[in-house]
Amino acid sequence: MSTESHEHIGRRSFLQKAGLVTLAGAGADLTGFQLPFSPTMKKIKITNVDSNFEREPLNPYRFKGSAITDSWQSIAMLESESGIRKVGLGTQGVLLV
Q: Which residue range(s) make up the domain with 26?
A: 11-96
Q: Are 58 and 37 in contact (CB under 8 A)?
A: no
- What is each CA distance from 82 to 40, 46, 76, 92, in whole angstroms? 19, 9, 18, 31
Question: Has residue 75 been placed in a domain?
Answer: yes
* Average confidence (pLDDT) over 3-9: 61
For residue 55, give the nearest of 44, 43, 45, 69 by alpha carbon: 69
Residue-wise pLDDT tens digits, 19-33: 776 766 655 555 666
The domain tally of the chain equals 1
Of 33-37, 44-48, 68-72, 78-82, the range with the lowest mean pLDDT is 33-37
Residue 76 lies in a domain: yes
What is the CATH classification number for the domain harbouring 27?
3.30.390
The pLDDT score that the predictor gives to residue 67 is 80
